[in-house]
Structures are given as structure tokens and as C-alpha cells.
Amino acid sequence: MKKFKRFIKRFGLFLLILVVFMYINNTSLFTKTKDEDPLLLAHRGMAQTFHMEGIKSDTCTAERIYEPEHPYLENTIPSMEAAFGAGADIVEFDVQPTKDGQFAVFHDWTLECRTDGKGVTREHTMQELKSLDIGYGYTADNGKSYPFRGKGVGLMPSLEEVLSYFPDESFLIHKLR
């Protein structure tokens, strides 16, 4: 019985030390408080929203947008301008290398999902990519209508164009594959 009481005391002391450690480890008492506003990051500029259920790495999100609430297409200069105008501190965008040694500001490594083009993005020149309609594949009603068709021709910018257009803004650049 004496051993059991000693075990209970030790176990209780262990639990108390564990709880105190967990509290101290997770508390913000020892952190410096900042009186700064958080940074606002705009993912792909001002983009169309879509439902996230069942998304995988190869899901075409342009085919699952909600009813459009604004006229912007992701990863375009107008969408980035709108994001900065709405208060974004940083705009994140994706780049793909092109056949002629430039970087296209475009999310997908293939063209079929969002554009009227075909094939791998990096197998095209920047000029070829600029001729595509980047709004071609967007639909909110399972293909009954395409609200951005014809409105995205020439809107795929190069990295150089984006950086020249926004010389004083901050970006998070993500290179895919």
C-alpha cells in the first residue's frame, strides 16, 4: 500500500509538472507584443473563389468557381492592381518558364484547364501564351456558361511585365514544377 501511495504522489507530481510545462510552452506571456497590423497576402491577386471539397493537385479549379462576384482573373495585372487597391500588402503568384527563356505568370503547368490552348505551358513562347484566352475554361454552372470566355485574351503577363508595372510592391513568387 505504501508503494502505491508513493506511486500516486510521483504520478501526480509528474502530471502537475507536465501541465505546467505545457502551459508555459504554449502561452504567449513571454512573447513580445507587436502593435502592427498583420500583413495581408492576396493569393493570385484578386481571384475567383471556388469550392475546396475534393481538390487534388490536378483539379481544374476554373471548372468549379462560384458565381463570379467581380470581373478579375487570377494572376493578371488587373487582378493584382485590384488586390493592392483593396489593401493587400503582398500578392502571391505562380510563374512558369517559357520556351523562349521568360517566365509567364500563370498557375497551371498545362493550358487546358483555364485557356483555349493545349499542351505544357513551358513548351510555348511568351508570345504564344499571350495570344491565349486565359478566361476560356471558367464556369460556375458545370459548363452551361463560361462568363469569362473572350475576356482573357492577352492578359497572361510575363514576370518582367508584373515587376515593371508594380516596382514598389511586394510579391511572393512561386515557381511550379
Per-residue cell: 90: 503582398
CA atoms within 13 A on the CB side of 54: 5
pLDDT of 36 strictly over 90: no
Is the residue at 52 inside a domain? yes
**105 forms bridges with which residues in the sheet?**
95
Highest mean pLDDT among 19-23, 27-31, 39-43, 84-88: 84-88
- Single out the residue of 154, 135, 132 nearest to residue 145, CA to CA: 135
Q: Which pLDDT belongs to residue 176?
A: 64
Number of structural domains in the chain: 1
What residues contact residue 175 under an 8 Å CB cut-off, 6+ apart?
Answer: 94, 95, 96, 97, 103
Is the residue at 150 inside a domain? yes
Burial 58-80 (b: 16+ CB within 10 A, else e): eebbbbbbeeeeeebbbbbbebb
The CA distance from 91 to 39, in Å, is 11
Q: Which pLDDT belongs to residue 76?
A: 98
| Residue 150 lies in domain | 41-175
pLDDT-based confidence at residue 138 (cuts at 50, 70, 90): very high
Is the residue at 13 inside a domain? no
Is the residue at 159 inside a domain? yes
Q: Are 103 and 158 in contact (CB under 8 A)?
A: yes
Is the residue at 87 inside a domain? yes
Per-residue cell: 156: 497572361
Task: Provide the 3-class DSSP secondary structure of residue 8.
Answer: helix
- Domain with residue 46: its CATH number is 3.20.20.190
Is the residue at 6 inside a domain? no
Angle 94-99-101 from CA coordinates, rounded to 5° = 75
Is the residue at 99 inside a domain? yes
Is the residue at 15 inside a domain? no
